[in-house]
């Protein structure tokens, strides 16, 4: 009877847990996709700037694009909260304001057509959209109450099966320890996927300063 209850409990729990991990993994791939969009648009702005802007204005655009990724890295850090977040958001907003001013300079050069100018405005909008999506991924995750429920339910599930483990003697102790390690590992993986920006081996590496200086040149 108890064995059957335990199996049903674990079956339902792992089903919910699988959905949570799948959702968290999807968020990670969405973050990777939005970073790729930011890179492609930044490179497009830079290549267009090299063709149409004066040398001094090119240098300013180059500086803004390079520093953007460093600002983004600090903002996405898990420990940046409260006033620090407001400051970093202000810096990012200043960057997008500077980018809009660059588009205005493109307009003044009179070397760029109206369709090309509309394309630049579209790039700016897409870049802002990708940034906001990354910010949403950082700020909104699986509800804390659901994550706590899963953590505690896994522990309770092992306790429910303790009498069953006891029938195996020494092997039961080994089996319970093995199952607990497996469950703790799953919880750790879920938490890594839940917040994709960090220093863990499976996190998305946002240390892009060197890459930005190498490519935006």
Residue-level pLDDT at 81: 67
Segment 140-159 mean pLDDT: 71
Residue 138 predicted with pLDDT over 70: yes
Q: Is 169 left (phi over 0), alpha (psi -120 to 50) or beta?
A: left
Maximum mean pLDDT: which of 11-25, 83-97, 106-120, 153-167: 83-97
152-181 pLDDT tens trace = 777 776 676 666 666 766 676 677 777 777
Residue 55's pLDDT is 83
pLDDT of 2 reads 45
Are the beta carbons of 15 and 73 closer than 8 angstroms?
no
Q: Round to whole Å and give the CA distance between 88 and 59.
A: 23
Rounded to an integer, the average pLDDT of 104-119 is: 78
For the cut 60, the answer to whether the pLDDT of residue 3 exceeds it is no
| Predicted pLDDT at 7 | 60
Closest to 113 in 3D by CA, of 52, 58, 174: 52
Q: For residue 36, is pLDDT > 80?
A: yes
Which pLDDT value is given to residue 100? Answer: 87
Residue 80: pLDDT band by 50, 70, 90 thresholds? low
pLDDT band at residue 209 under the 50/70/90 scheme: low
Asked whether the predicted pLDDT for residue 23 surpasses 60, the reply is: yes
In this structure, how many other beta carbons lie within 10 angstroms of the beta carbon of residue 131?
21
Q: What is the mean pLDDT of the chain?
A: 77
- Left (φ > 0), alpha (ψ -120 to 50) or beta: where does 119 sit? alpha
pLDDT of 68 higher than 60: yes
Tell me: pLDDT of 106 over 70: yes
CB atoms within 10 A of CB 53: 19
pLDDT at residue 1, rounded to an integer = 46
């Amino acid at each position: 009877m108890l064995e059957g209850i335990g199996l049903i409990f674990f079956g339902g729990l792992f089903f919910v847990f699988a959905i949570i991990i799948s959702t968290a993994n999807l968020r990670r791939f969405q973050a990777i996709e939005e970073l790729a969009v930011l890179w492609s648009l930044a490179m497009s702005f830079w290549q267009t700037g090299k063709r149409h802007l004066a040398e001094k204005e090119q240098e300013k655009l180059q500086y803004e694009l390079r520093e953007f990724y460093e600002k983004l890295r600090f903002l996405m850090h898990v420990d940046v909260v409260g006033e620090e977040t407001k400051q970093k958001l202000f810096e990012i907003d200043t960057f997008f304001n500077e980018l809009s001013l660059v588009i205005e300079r493109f307009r003044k050069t009179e070397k760029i057509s109206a369709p090309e100018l509309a394309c630049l405005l579209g790039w700016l909008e897409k870049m802002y959209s990708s940034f906001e999506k990354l910010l949403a991924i950082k700020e909104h995750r699986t509800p804390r109450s659901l994550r706590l429920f899963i953590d505690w339910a896994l522990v309770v599930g092992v306790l429910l099966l303790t009498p069953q483990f006891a029938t195996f003697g020494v092997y039961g102790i080994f089996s319970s320890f093995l199952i607990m390690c497996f469950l703790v590992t799953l919880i750790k993986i879920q938490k890594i996927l839940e917040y994709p920006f960090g220093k863990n081996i499976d996190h998305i590496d946002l240390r892009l300063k060197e890459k930005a200086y190498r490519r935006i040149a």
